[in-house]
Amino acid sequence: MLNFASDYLEGAHPNILEALIKSNFVSCPGYGDDVYCKSAKEKIKKAIGRDDVDVWFLVGGTQTNRIVINSALAIYEGVISADTGHINTHECGAIEHSGHKVISLSQSEGKLAANTVRDYLETFYADQNHEASVFPGMVYISHPTELGTLYTKAELTELSKVCHEYNLPLFLDGARLGYGLVSPASDLTLREISELVDVFYIGGTKVGALCGEAVVFTKGNTPKHFYSTIKQNGALLAKGRLLGVQFDTLFTNDLYFEISKNAIRQAQRLISIFEQKGYPFFLKTDTNQQFVILENEKMKTLSGEVVFSYWEKYDENHTVVRFCTSWATTDAQMDALEQIL
């Protein structure tokens, strides 16, 4: 069965498995204090082009969002997010479970506009009674967004500006960052991102790793005793090497970027296949997620041969579905999809 349901359908890039085998019997201290983590951190800093950032490895995206946000906020603060933000929709209330409101604002194609944030903040502080409300304490965005769209450099710069005017750290969820960075439509480098945001992460799980997200604090702003906070949240791997080895491999010879390009290339082909077949798009993006409108009947028959994701109801007779490509998508799979359609 052909599968375009997500970008985490396969295991890991073969180089990673090889590196796991090669390093397997090297005896290492636990909890991230191993040579592989150290090497991976250095390589990531080099990829960013800055030596003054602080890199940490966590296991998954929801975990990372929860811990980073929980560490940044005071008890009376919440986090601003697009209403489509992953933390607001698909994390089972992880942020609220850790005590903080997600202050959801309207967005356009998954992107939070600087003006939306500014308007919110101005209105908030203009309200004489604002001390009875949740204080905004951070701004969270995803890049690429949950809808596969990308912030432009101008947009991210504006957002960064308003955040810093109000002393709010800007947190960028980069679960799919690789796909954003190598998209031909992107005008943002890793270094620029590191300069515009206060903390972000480089997603491994969706870009070739078995698991793992590399969190980067960019302003000397690592939360105090972050190690203990990670442990407290049950997120500290005893064998931290598992993350170190993976990111060390991904950031050797630009592997992370190279495999990201495959997803983009296949996504572009996917668009043209659907276009040729005359399918309407709900949203065509510059990254690895594409949103197609299917007649419900067609959706039913198609789902006998291809796996894709239900996104939302379009109207009585149509449904929006999502097709994902990834680092692992092959030409053969695209050929097969073309034939089926």
Instruction: Write out the binding residues for a copy of itself, residues 203-232 only, by CB under 8 A.
Output: 205-206, 210-211, 224-225, 227-229, 231-232
In sequence order, the 6+-apart residues with CB closer than 8 A to the CB of 50 are 191, 194, 218
In sequence order, the 6+-apart residues with CB closer than 8 A to the CB of 117 are 80, 105, 139, 159, 162, 163
Binding to a copy of itself by residue 12, rule CB under 8 A?
yes
One symbol per residue from 231 to 260: x for binding a copy of itself (CB under 8 A), - otherwise; what is it? Answer: xxxxxxxxx-xx------------------
Query: Which one, 195 or 338, has the nearer CB to a copy of itself?
Result: 338
Give the three-class secondary structure for 26: coil
Instruction: Write out the binding residues for a copy of itself, residues 46-75 only, by CB under 8 A.
Output: 59-67, 70-71, 74-75
**Measured between alpha carbons, how far is 132 from 126 in angstroms, rounded to an integer?**
13
Query: Which one, 91 or 198, has the nearer CB to a copy of itself?
Result: 91
Binding to a copy of itself by residue 102, rule CB under 8 A?
yes
Q: To the nearest whole angstrom, how small is the minimum distance from the Cβ of residue 158 to a copy of itself?
A: 24
Q: To the nearest whole angstrom, how small is the minimum distance from the Cβ of residue 315 to a copy of itself?
A: 14
- Site size for a copy of itself (CB under 8 A): 85
Binding to a copy of itself by residue 110, rule CB under 8 A?
no
Instruction: Write out the binding residues for a copy of itself, residues 163-202 only, by CB under 8 A.
Output: none
Binding to a copy of itself by residue 276, rule CB under 8 A?
no
Q: Are 15 and 244 in contact (CB under 8 A)?
A: no
**Among 15, 35, 54, 89, contact with a copy of itself (rule: CB under 8 A):** 89
Give the three-class secondary structure for 228: helix
**Among 221, 310, 335, 339, contact with a copy of itself (rule: CB under 8 A):** 310
C-alpha angle 21/27/29, rounded to 5°? 120
**Measured between alpha carbons, how far is 301 from 297 in angstroms, rounded to an integer?**
7
Q: How far is CA 184 from CA 15, 180, 188, 212, in A?
A: 25, 9, 10, 25
Query: Which one, 164 or 310, has the nearer CB to a copy of itself?
Result: 310
Binding to a copy of itself by residue 3, rule CB under 8 A?
yes
What is the DSSP annotation of 94-110?
Answer: HHHHTT--EEEE--BTT
Instruction: Write out the binding residues for a copy of itself, residues 17-36 only, by CB under 8 A.
Output: 17, 20-21, 23-30
Q: Are strands 199-203 and 170-173 parallel, antiparallel or unpaired?
A: parallel
